[in-house]
Amino acid sequence: MSDIEYNGKYYYEPPLETQLALQDIKVHTFRYYPQECLMIASDLFAEDFSCKKFFTNTPHSITPLVCPEDANKILNIATEIDAGHDSVSVMVRSTHKNTNYRIKLRVIKKDSSGKALICSGTVENINEYIFSNQLIEALSQDYSCVYYIDLDRDFVKPYRMNPFIKKEYGYSIENLKKYSVVMDMYIKNSVAVDDKDAMTRSSRKEFLIEYLKEKGLYIQDFTAVHNGMPIYCRMKVVRLSEEENIAVMGFADISSEKVRELEKYAYVDPLTNGNNYNYFKQKIIDQNKSGFIVSMDIHAFKIINSVCGIKTGDEILKETWKIISGEIKSGDIAGHINGDYFALFINSSSNKEVIDVLEKIMRELSVLSREKSVPQLLPYFGITRWTPDKKIELCFGEANSAKKSIRDKKNIWYEFYSHEDDAKRIQEKQLEDSFERSLRNNKFEVWYQPKCSPDDNRMIGAEALIRWKQNDGSLISPMTFIPLFERNGMIRQLDEYVFRTVVNQQKKWLSEGRKIVPVSINLSRVSLYYFDIVEIYRRIIEEKDIDPKYIPIEITESAAAGIAEIKQIAEEFHNAGFSLHMDDFGSGYSSLALLNTMHFDTLKLDKSLVDYIGNYGGDRLLDHTIALAKELGMHVTAEGVEKKEQVDFLNNLDCDSIQGFYYSKPLPLEDFEQSLGMVKIVEDMPVVVSRRKKSGVDNLYLETLELLVGSFHKIMKINLTTDSYQIVKIYSAENSRQAGYSQKFSTWISGFADSGNIHADDLKTFRLMTDVNYLKKYFNVKKGSLKLRYRRLTNGEYRWVLLEIIPAKDYEENNQSLMLYVQDINDSYKAVLESQKELEQFCNKDSLTGLYSFHYFNALCHAYKTESSVTDIGVVFCDINGLSMINETRGHKAGNITLCNFAKILENNFGSSNCFRISGDEFIAVIMDTPEDEFIKKASEFRDLLKKDENPAASCGWYWKENAETIEETVEKAEFSMYHDKKNFYSAHPEFREIPEQQNYQDEISTVIQQLAAEYHVLGIINFLDNSFKILKSAMGMDKLFVEAADYDDFIKQYAKQRLRDEYIENFILTANSTTLRKKLKESFSCDIRVVKKDNRLLQWTFVKSQQTEGLPAAAIFYVKDSE
């Protein structure tokens, strides 16, 4: 005991140890002397409440310590003590931290008259108690069972229990009061088997203590079992105290909520919030009415996702659903399947009514395209008849089948199902499935059709043709499988198979001492699209040491006309030593430009031209065509010749060779070999010169031009050396104006420019590019073509025309002879301009963030380079940290929100006209004409802004350059500065690093290995970052390759050369190397490569992306298994 003095008197003060003990349980003490109106607070009371120790004029002097509305409560307790009560209690809220307290007063000494002299008082913090009761009351409204739990003492006390729980566990809870024992008992007896482990983990004391410290709240849904029936339940645990591990735990039956949730998952599409396919099917069955089922798709919707972004693509799909829902009537049903794939049921018996509904949808989508400024939305539909006695999946499959049949036909937008078409598709699927096996088992045979000289009827060449033999010896027509394989891409493999077979056969014949002739092979247009096609064929030739002149390449006229890069491909084949034949000439694609600009060695006339022999027009056309080919230095072969009259006619026209049934049908290898003894060896065919006399421009040449180039309204031959020209063809409306023309080209072209017919905006360029001196310089440097588009006044309107000038065949430096063509391109070019305008809009703006795109940034850099003046440039380069982690852990939607938020911050600080998104997570701001100190101040403030927690984490670097010659050099320096900042960031925040520098791949996929080891011959991993690899499971002999290989690419090469058949080696090395794989896995999660081993065993290599960094795959798993 200790005493304190106040105004000459001594008063009691509790020992400090007692005060500290009470403080631990949130209780403080004071003494009240009613007759003196004095209150004395303990030392810790005064310290903790920041108040004075002595209060006179009590109780009025202490009312400021409580909330004003509770002041009367303080006065009342003093009144009650004066009235003779021995103890009083009241709850008040203090002004100190707005906390709830319970104040208790007890009289400990009275005077002789019974009046209180001394009172002992306590102030108890009851905030947590009140919170606990409020929380329990709140939980009780929704939770049928509520418990108070003390995790430190392993204690549980029920507040409320439903009848079932009270009956089953009430006794145990009331008597045991052990939280862990009660929870174990409940989980063992009442929780469903599938959820026992999860509930055991989540209800552990240690887990809840740690989780509640961090989050304060834990929720776990689980399934309980009562009388054999599942009950969906929710457990909710809420922390009550920050100092102690006490909490309230509630249990609720959420079965009705769960059923609604499951129904939503089952029948509601998450993207459109409309019907999904399950609802669509169920509703049709429930409705039990006949009608039409429609499968709907949108052409090339991936382009919208790629160009405009996934977010815009999703918005378009939502709007599409609204359009479909708005167009169907009562009794109709629609559903969203996935992606751009929808299903409709139209309750009608009329084909026309169905088409009317679909046409309305198509029109609305066209309007939507314009409103959203996206590429044209072109839907296509497959339709089939539905009756309730049919199986819905089978019916929907029919609609899909009809839809797939028009997938590649943009001019057809709907198709009704027919059984005949389905039978054809089934047959095609069977052919696709048996392709690899037939190739492996040599079921594809190369047959040979001779090409003969009409002069002496001896064979001077042959064409290799493919035949597919069935097990019964019958042959499948090439017209059946060639178009199919061209559509699905298998034709490339078949083309290479034929080429390799012919090369091997030619090599075999040479080794046997036989005389051989050139055997041409056909190359499909699909194969021509592969950039490495020439290199692959060149390597095959070099491996077998065969002169490429013995394997000419035939390219169809349609392929030559339809592929923009055909001229470059032709030159590459020529540089590799191959001879090129234009096949099927005259089948509908005839083009003067092809003959005049492409270096084909042989022109193969299509059978359709040969069949016209005997008809005056046909004879004249063949006469002129062959003459033109000879004029251009080409050999001529006629195909499909079947009659002697045709042979005689073609021989008279100097046709070099003839192919057709007149001489021989296609022969199998054994029969063709017998013909090799009667060959005519032609080492180097001379250029055939026409027998006709030439004077100026050959009349036949001009007539042939007239026949073949009807699309040109002006053709001229001009000579820059002599400044002269001659008209080959002219539009009839111009004949009167061109009469009596001058022989000087410069005078004629100048007069045309002055005629007033050329649009004013195009006139300056027209004068420049048609000036004779300009043309001389141009064609001295370039040997290609010169093209000029301009607008010309025709019938009162300006129309776009194309003027093209190319070197004539007799062009020489001292005799600059050219051909000039003019063609109306108004309709097609306007469409191109409109498309370019739309494309520029898409390219210039990033569809996700709204900032300028990388395309526009490049244009800005180019424009700056071409300007004569330079200026000061400052660049801020930013990279969002850990974006891949956000995408992987929180989803791409969260990643997109992060990108948009960062873009907005960048735009607000540097202005929208200066900001660019140049890649997935990289942004720059380009600031011009700003002083260095001002730029650095602004950039520094921006980086400080990024350090705030509410903003996306990003690394930032900058650089300022005085009188910068290019923007790129400044960007490069700013990027270097950014990487320095990023390095510092990852050092301080290793948890954001997207992929560790060293990875233990064994640990990563050990589970996969255990599960799949029995199935795969080879299982391994690739580290793309250093091109290393590791074999985790191998077939016999693979370990040796692994030890000998320097890296992954070397391993692939060794494997291919040692294990695969020759025709698969090149393709496997090209497609399975690390560079190609990384690009493929950037676009998709996995890829497959099928190969055939030397023992004819078909294998499938599968590569699966396992790690990614900076937008590119960093690691992959690969495995090999048998393939059917």
Backbone angles phi, psi at 701, to 5 degrees: -60, -45
Residue 438 in any domain: the answer is: no
Tell me which DSSP letter residue 990 carries.
Answer: G
Average the pLDDT over 397-412 and give the result: 83
149 close to 173: Cβ distance less than 8 angstroms: no
Torsion of CA 765, 769, 770, 774, to 10 degrees: 140
Most confident among 134-143, 683-692, 814-823 (mean pLDDT): 814-823
> 586-595, 804-813, 914-923: which has the minimum mean pLDDT?
586-595
Q: Return contacts of 183-191, CB within 8 angstroms, 24+ apart.
A: 190/224, 190/225, 190/226, 191/222, 191/223, 191/224, 191/225
Torsion of CA 871, 874, 875, 876, to 10 degrees: -160
The residue from 776, 801, 833 where one domain ends is 833
Distance CA 43, CA 4 (A): 11
The residue from 960, 992, 1024 where one domain ends is 992
Residue 695 in any domain: the answer is: no
Judge if 748 and 797 occupy the same domain: yes
Residue 756 in any domain: the answer is: yes
User: Has residue 276 got a pLDDT over 50?
Assistant: yes
> 6-20, 64-78, 1108-1122: which has the minimum mean pLDDT?
1108-1122
Task: Look up the CATH number of the domain holding residue 555.
Answer: 3.20.20.450
Judge if 212 and 162 occupy the same domain: yes
For 457-471, how does the pLDDT look when each residue is reduced to its tens digit (9 = 90+)? 889 999 999 999 988
Please state the domain count of the chain. 7
Distance CA 620, CA 482 (A): 34
Q: Which of 639, 635, 628, 640 is nearest to 656 (CA)?
A: 635
Distance CA 190, CA 1009 (A): 37
Q: Model pTM greater than 0.85?
A: no
Distance CA 774, CA 436 (A): 57
- pLDDT at residue 246, rounded to an integer: 86
Q: Which two tokens stand for residue 455?
A: 């002069």
Q: Which two tokens stand for residue 49?
A: 């409440």
Burial, 307: exposed, middle or buried (Cβ in 10 Å; 0-12, 13-18, 19+)? middle
CA torsion sign for 36, 37, 42, 47 is: negative
Judge if 967 and 1049 occupy the same domain: no
User: Has residue 131 got a pLDDT over 60?
Assistant: no
Q: Is the preceding peptide bond at 375 cis, omega within 30 degrees of 0?
A: no
The residue from 85, 105, 125 where one domain ends is 125
Q: What mean pLDDT, rounded, does the chain reach?
A: 80
Q: Which of 269, 265, 382, 362 is nearest to 320 (CA)?
A: 362
Bridge partners (DSSP) of residue 252 are 234
- pLDDT at residue 739, rounded to an integer: 37
Judge if 936 and 1042 occupy the same domain: no
Residue 111 DSSP SS3: coil
Judge if 869 and 934 occupy the same domain: yes
Calculate the alpha carbon distances from 719 to 697, 703, 782, 1063 in Å.
12, 20, 16, 51
Judge if 828 and 873 occupy the same domain: no
- pLDDT at residue 553, rounded to an integer: 94
Residue 253 in any domain: the answer is: yes
Residue 421 in any domain: the answer is: no
Residue 330 in any domain: the answer is: yes
Judge if 220 and 192 occupy the same domain: yes
Average the pLDDT over 250-276 and give the result: 80
Distance CA 748, CA 726 (A): 11
Q: Which of 680, 641, 640, 648 is nearest to 459 (CA)?
A: 680
- pLDDT at residue 695, rounded to an integer: 35
398 close to 366: Cβ distance less than 8 angstroms: no
Alpha helices in 598-679 (DSSP H): 607-610, 616-631, 644-652, 669-675
Judge if 1023 and 944 occupy the same domain: no
- pLDDT at residue 440, rounded to an integer: 87
Distance CA 116, CA 111 (A): 6
Judge if 884 and 962 occupy the same domain: yes
Task: Look up the CATH number of the domain holding residue 117.
Answer: 3.30.450.20
Bridge partners (DSSP) of residue 958 are 876
Tell me which DSSP letter residue 678 carries.
Answer: G
For 469-493, how does the pLDDT look when each residue is reduced to its tens digit (9 = 90+)? 988 888 988 888 888 888 777 888 8
Q: How confident is the model at residue 963 (pLDDT cuts 50, 70, 90)?
A: confident
Q: Which of 493, 561, 555, 545 is nearest to 520 (CA)?
A: 555
Judge if 817 and 876 occupy the same domain: no
Average the pLDDT over 558-571 and give the result: 68
Residue 697 in any domain: the answer is: no
- pLDDT at residue 466, rounded to an integer: 94
- pLDDT at residue 564, rounded to an integer: 53
User: Has residue 740 got a pLDDT over 50?
Assistant: no
Judge if 28 and 110 occupy the same domain: yes
Calculate the alpha carbon distances from 138 to 215, 218, 248 in Å.
19, 16, 11
Supply the range of the domain harboring residue 761.
Answer: 710-833
Distance CA 977, CA 16 (A): 61
583 close to 640: Cβ distance less than 8 angstroms: no
Residue 13 in any domain: the answer is: yes
Distance CA 238, CA 132 (A): 9
* 532 vs 452, more confident: 452
Q: What percent of the chain has pLDDT over 90?
A: 23
Judge if 975 and 1073 occupy the same domain: no
- Measured between its terminal Cα atoms, the distance across the chain in Å is 96
Distance CA 441, CA 376 (A): 46
